[in-house]
Amino acid sequence: MLKWKKGCSALLIFVLMVSITSGSQLAEGGAVKSGTSTKTNETTRAGTVTANPLYVHETYAETSRVIGSLPQGVTAYIMNSYQGWHKITFNNGTGWVYGAYLKNIHAVNSPSSSVPSSSATGSSSSSGSSAPTSSGAASTSRSSATSSKPAAKLPASALPSKITAGYYANWSAHSGFTPDKIKASMINVVHYAFADIDANLKIAVNDPSVDYANFRKLTALKKKHPRLKTLITIGGWDGSARFSDAALTDARRKAFAKSCVAFIKEYGFDGVDIDWEYPVSGGAAGRAADKTNFTLLMRALRSALNAQAATDGKYYYLTFAGGSSDSYTRNVQLSQLASCVDYAVDMTYDMHGPWDTYSDLNAPLYTPTDSSPQYKASVVSSLQAWQNAGFPAKKLVMGLPFYGYLYNGVSAENNGLYSRFTSAKAIGYDSIVSNYLSKGLLSSFYPSEAKVPTLSGGSTFISYDDVSSIALKAQYSASHGLKGVAAWELSYDRNNTLLSAAYNNLH
C-alpha cells in the first residue's frame, strides 16, 4: 500500500462487489468477429450470454486462439463441459467459452437435424472440437458428450450496492488492535493484509505469530455479523516481488490460483484480493509481459474460485488494489480486468510523500491549481483516469487514507506546503489527534481547492484527512456512482471517527 514501508502501509476500507458477468474479456490476436450458436443434435443444454461480448476460443484454455465472439443476451448451445469451460456450437463448427459468462443454463430438446447458421461472420474451429472427458481424454462420441452433468449454477454475490471496506493490517495485532475490535457494523468487507507468495510461488502466511489467531477471530466476528465478508490480501509494497514470476506461465498461474482457493477454504475467507505493487514498473522488479500476465492471473483466479463455488454452492469474491498514478493505468489492462473481478480499489492516496523533494498533500480530493515545484495529482483525477481506461464506476472503490505524512525541517513560508524538508514519516489519524490536534500545538490550514486539511507550525508540516475531508470523499463516491470506499488502515482510527464519517456519508 504505502510506497516506502510496509509497516506504514495505509489501510483501505474496501467496497466489495463487482459482478463477474459484466464488461469485456481478454481478446488475444486482435479484433474478432461476432458469430452465432445454434441448436444441433449434439447440444444438450443452453445458456444466456452475460458478457459483452463473450469471446469464443479454439479450445478450453485462456491462452488459446480467439475465433470469434457472441453478443450479450443471445443463447449459446452447449455440447459438453470441462474444467469450467463449455464447448458450444459456433457458426458451422464448435468453440469453447468460459463458463462464468453463461447464465440460466437449462436442458434443451435435441432437434431432428442440425441447423447451421446463415448469418455468422466469425471463423469456425476444427481443432479442439473433441470434448475432453472428466479423465482428460478426448471424446468423439455423442453419447459421452450428452452424458456430461449440467454445469452447476454459480451462487449470487451477497454484497450491497454500496460498500464500506477496511484493510486490517496483521501487524496491528502486536499493538493490541486485534480483529475482534473491528467496528463490523460499519464495514461490509474486511481485507486482511497481508499474505505472502512463497518460493514455490504459492500463497503463504506472512506472520505466523499473529495470523492464525487473527484468522480465528475474524471467523468469530463473522458469526456475530453474518453479512460481513473477509478477503485475504496478497502482496503489498513489501510482498510483491514474486508476482511477476507467479503470473509468468499458464501452469504457474493455475498453481497459484489453486493454492489461494485451498488457503481461503482452510482459514475461512470469502475471497482473494490481489495487491500487486506494481505490474511492469513502479515497485517490485517486473517485466513488460506483466501487463498481459496480470489479466491472465486474475482470470485464472476467477476460474478457480468459480470452480470451487460450483462445488460447495458459495460465492467467492475476487478484487484487486491498484495505483493512482498515470503509469499504473498504462501498465495494466483495466478494461479487461473489470470482467473478472467484483471490484477494485484505486489507492487514491500516497499522491505525495517522503520520497518527494518537497512537502505536499497526501490525498487531495481535487487537483490544486496553485503553483507547485512538483507534479500535481488528486483523487478525482485518478478515478477519472481509471474510468477513461475502461474500468466501470460501478466496480470502482475509492481508497481513503486514515493516516497522513509528517514532514520535519520545513520552511514557515506557505504554511510549510511545497517546502524542502529534512525527514518525513507516515502518521496515523489517532496519533495526529492525540499528539497535535488535542494539544493545539500546530495551526490548521485548509487548502480550499484540495479539500483536505494540513497542520503546520515551526518546522513541522502534516498533510492528512479529517472527518470533513473523509465525508466529502464518501459523498463524491456516492454521487458519482462508485462502488464505495476502502480505508487503509483500520488501526489508525481505533475510535472509528473517520470510519463513521465514511459510512454515514456513503449510505
Q: List, for residues 260-315, the tens digit of each pLDDT value.
A: 999 999 999 999 999 999 999 999 999 999 999 999 999 999 999 999 999 999 99
pLDDT of residue 128: 34
**By C-alpha distance, which of 272, 274, 382 is closest to 327?**
382
**E strand intervals along 270-364:** 271-275, 317-322, 343-346
Residue 190 has pLDDT above 50, yes or no: yes
Predicted confidence (pLDDT) per residue in 379-398, tens digit: 999 999 999 999 999 999 99
| CATH classification at residue 94 | 2.30.30.40
**453 within 8 A of 394, measured Cβ to Cβ:** no
C-alpha grid cell for residue 190? 474486511
CB within 8 A of 376, min separation 6: which ones?
367, 368
- The span from the CA of 303 to the CA of 280, in Å, is 24
Q: What are the φ and ψ backbone dihedral angles of 305, each rounded to 5 degrees?
A: -65, -40
Both 169 and 267 in one domain: the answer is yes
189-197 and 203-205 beta bridge pairing? antiparallel
- The span from the CA of 276 to the CA of 332, in Å, is 11
Both 120 and 168 in one domain: the answer is no
**487 within 8 A of 13, measured Cβ to Cβ:** yes
Both 238 and 100 in one domain: the answer is no
Both 130 and 172 in one domain: the answer is no
**By C-alpha distance, which of 469, 458, 343, 333 is closest to 400?**
469
Both 166 and 137 in one domain: the answer is no
**By C-alpha distance, which of 100, 136, 132, 37 is closest to 341?**
100
409 lies in some domain = no
27 lies in some domain = no
Query: Active site residue: 277, 413, 449, 489, which one?
Result: 277
Could you give the maximum distance between any two Cα atoms of the chain, in Å?
88
pLDDT of residue 30: 40
pLDDT of residue 132: 27
Both 133 and 270 in one domain: the answer is no
459 by Cβ neighbours in 10 Å (0-12 / 13-18 / 19+) ranks as middle
Among 115, 146, 177, the domain-final residue is 146
pLDDT of residue 143: 30
| CATH classification at residue 278 | 3.20.20.80
Both 357 and 492 in one domain: the answer is yes
373 lies in some domain = yes
Lowest mean pLDDT among 120-124, 127-131, 178-182: 127-131
| Residue type at 130 in one-letter notation | S
206 lies in some domain = yes
152 lies in some domain = no
- Centre a 10 Å sphere on the Cβ of residue 126 and count the other Cβ atoms it contains: 8
Residue 20 has pLDDT above 80, yes or no: no
Both 342 and 212 in one domain: the answer is yes
Among 146, 178, 212, the domain-final residue is 146
Residue 138 has pLDDT above 50, yes or no: no
Mean pLDDT of the chain: 85
Specify the residue for cell string 456516492.
478
Residue 474 has pLDDT above 50, yes or no: yes
| CA angle at 339 for the pair 385 and 161, rounded to the nearest 5° | 80
Both 77 and 105 in one domain: the answer is yes
Both 194 and 322 in one domain: the answer is yes
Range of the domain at 493: 6-19+159-402+466-506
How much of the chain, in percent, has pLDDT values that exceed 70?
83
**499 within 8 A of 187, measured Cβ to Cβ:** yes
pTM score over 0.75: no
| Residue type at 197 in one-letter notation | I
266 is catalytic: no
The H or E element that residue 381 is part of is helix 379-388
Predicted confidence (pLDDT) per residue in 44-81, tens digit: 789 898 876 787 878 776 556 778 888 888 899 998 88
Among 146, 180, 205, the domain-final residue is 146
Overall domain count for the chain: 2
Lowest mean pLDDT among 25-39, 106-120, 191-205: 106-120
Residue 170 has pLDDT above 80, yes or no: yes
Question: Mean pLDDT across the stretch 417-438?
Answer: 98
Q: Mean pLDDT: which of 27-31, 48-52, 96-100, 306-310 is highest?
A: 306-310
Both 346 and 297 in one domain: the answer is yes
User: Between 133 and 250, where is the model more confident?
Assistant: 250
Predicted confidence (pLDDT) per residue in 326-344, tens digit: 999 999 999 999 999 999 9
Residue 171 has pLDDT above 70, yes or no: yes
37 lies in some domain = no
Both 168 and 140 in one domain: the answer is no
